[in-house]
Amino acid sequence: MNNKELIKIAIEAMNHSYSPYSDFKVGAALLTTSGNVFTGCNIENASFSPTNCAERTAFYKAISEGERGFSKIAVVGGINGNLTDYTFPCGVCRQVMIEFCNEDFLVIIAKSEDEYIEHKLSELLPHSFTSSDLGGEL
Ligand code: THU
Which residues, in sequence order, are CB contacts of 74 under 8 Å at separation 6+? 3, 6, 7, 9, 10, 28, 29, 108, 109, 110, 116
Q: Residue 104: pLDDT above 80?
A: yes
Q: What's the pTM value of the predicted model, to 2 decimals? A: 0.96
The average pLDDT across 53-79 equals 98
The least confident of 1-5, 68-72, 130-134 is 130-134
DSSP class of 131: G
Q: Residue 138: pLDDT above 60?
A: no
Distance, in Å, from the CA atom of 122 to the CA atom of 61, rounded to the nearest integer, reads: 23
The predicted structure's pLDDT at residue 65:
98
106 pLDDT tier (thresholds 50, 70, 90): very high
DSSP class of 133: G
The average pLDDT across 3-27 equals 98
The predicted structure's pLDDT at residue 87:
98
Pocket of ligand 1 (CB under 6 A): 19, 22, 24, 26, 42, 44, 51, 53-55, 87, 89-90, 93
Catalytic residues: 55
CA of residue 24 to ligand 1 center, whole Å: 7
Q: How big is the chain by its Cα radius of gyration, in Å?
A: 14
